[in-house]
Amino acid sequence: MLINFSNHPSASWPQKQKDAANIWGEVRDIVFPSIAPEMSEDEILALVESYRKKFPWDTANPVFLAGEYCFAFAMTDLLLGEGVRVLSTESNLKLVTEPMENGTTRRTATLDFLRFLDYAVLPDELTVIDGKNRVFLNCSANYPSSMWDETAMREAEAYGKVMDLSVKMIDGATFEERFAKAREYLARIDEIRLSAILLDGSFWTFYLMADALLRKGYTVLVKCSSRIAKERTGEDGTIIKNYEYRFVRYRQIKRYKI
């Protein structure tokens, strides 16, 4: 059995994703929780704990996990720590982002499913970086700081000078190729010696980088927004997502601890 713990019901998956899931037989859906942007880090971890107790997670059934970054990171952290196989997806992504006159941002994402991909951590001993500079590094893969609204920029500048570094992995790359790319990014980040770092992007890349950055002692943040989302499946099996969202706050990524 494959456990689908995401905000994408398996019935709405593109056919290619359904076919790839057939190797596990039945797919059981668990509804991903609704997480308000105002929720605190401690409330997120308490919610993770409630899901730990609520469902019979076990090593026999892999879990496809995707959703709000803070919850998804902590839940993946928990499940991997208990020996459960946790999966993300790899997709070809086409993204268009545009600011709206009402102050919101509209984003249209088209995803073409490629494969399921096991979450992983960088198998390295990582050095904790001390003596950090007042720099807020934006590592959003598809959202440069030039597109931020005034509130997002003002709150980022409270951490220091805002800089951009787009963090992306190569589609179809091996784990070793991905690890090598992550090491390149980490070396560049260490040179900056930043005070806070903002991440988004694919869930697989997010988890790998967030885990490594936390191990190095960095403050890792995500952008929390109120949003209206619409999703449909195209005739060719791609998923087309339309979002309109407004920045609310930054929230810090926290590791789950039993």
**Residues β-bridged to residue 225:** 247
pLDDT tier for residue 98 given thresholds of 50, 70 and 90: low
Q: Determine the pLDDT at residue 12.
A: 85
pLDDT > 70 fraction of the chain, expressed in percent and rounded: 85
pLDDT tens sequence across 147-168 = 888 999 999 999 999 999 989 8
Mean pLDDT of 80-102: 80
pLDDT tier for residue 2 given thresholds of 50, 70 and 90: very high
Mean pLDDT of 217-226: 93
Q: Determine the pLDDT at residue 229.
A: 60
For residue 119, give the nearest of 89, 139, 140 by alpha carbon.
Answer: 89
Q: Are 231 and 209 in contact (CB under 8 A)?
A: no
Q: Residue 142 and residue 158: Cα distance in Å, rounded?
A: 22
Ramachandran sector of residue 103 (left: φ over 0; alpha: ψ -120 to 50; beta: rest): left
Q: Determine the pLDDT at residue 194.
A: 92
Of the listed ranges 14-18, 143-147, 218-222, 242-246, the least confidently predicted one is 242-246
For residue 199, give the nearest of 183, 185, 187 by alpha carbon.
Answer: 185
**Residues β-bridged to residue 162:** 136
Q: Residue 234 and residue 236: Cα distance in Å, rounded?
A: 5
User: For the chain, what's the residue count?
Assistant: 258
Is the pLDDT assigned to residue 86 strictly greater than 70? yes
pLDDT tier for residue 191 given thresholds of 50, 70 and 90: very high
**Residues β-bridged to residue 228:** 244
Q: Residue 209 and residue 206: Cα distance in Å, rounded?
A: 5
Task: For helices 69-81 and 203-215, give the axis angle rounded to 10 degrees.
Answer: 70
Q: Residue 3 and residue 208: Cα distance in Å, rounded?
A: 21
Q: Determine the pLDDT at residue 143.
A: 83
Q: Determine the pLDDT at residue 172.
A: 80
pLDDT tens sequence across 41-68 = 999 999 999 999 998 799 999 999 999 9
pLDDT tens sequence across 238-253 = 666 565 678 899 999 9
Beta-strand pair 196-199/27-31? unpaired
Confidence (pTM): 0.87
Q: Are 10 and 18 in contact (CB under 8 A)?
A: yes
Residue 86's Cβ-side half-sphere holds a number of Cα atoms within 13 Å equal to 25
| More reliable by pLDDT, 170 or 121 | 121
Exposure string over 115-136, b if 16+ CB within 10 A, otherwise e = ebbebbbbeeebeebeeeeebb
Backbone angles phi, psi at 5, to 5 degrees: -110, 80
Distances (CA, A) of 107 to 135, 146, 147, 164: 27, 15, 12, 19
Is the pLDDT assigned to residue 205 strictly greater than 90? yes
Q: Residue 72 and residue 8: Cα distance in Å, rounded?
A: 14
Q: Residue 157 and residue 134: Cα distance in Å, rounded?
A: 9
Mean pLDDT of 90-118: 71
Q: Determine the pLDDT at residue 228.
A: 61
State the average pLDDT for the chain: 88
In 32-121, the DSSP E strands lie at 63-66, 86-99, 105-118
Q: Residue 48 and residue 55: Cα distance in Å, rounded?
A: 11
pLDDT tens sequence across 105-161 = 665 656 678 899 999 999 999 999 887 899 999 998 778 899 888 999 999 999 999
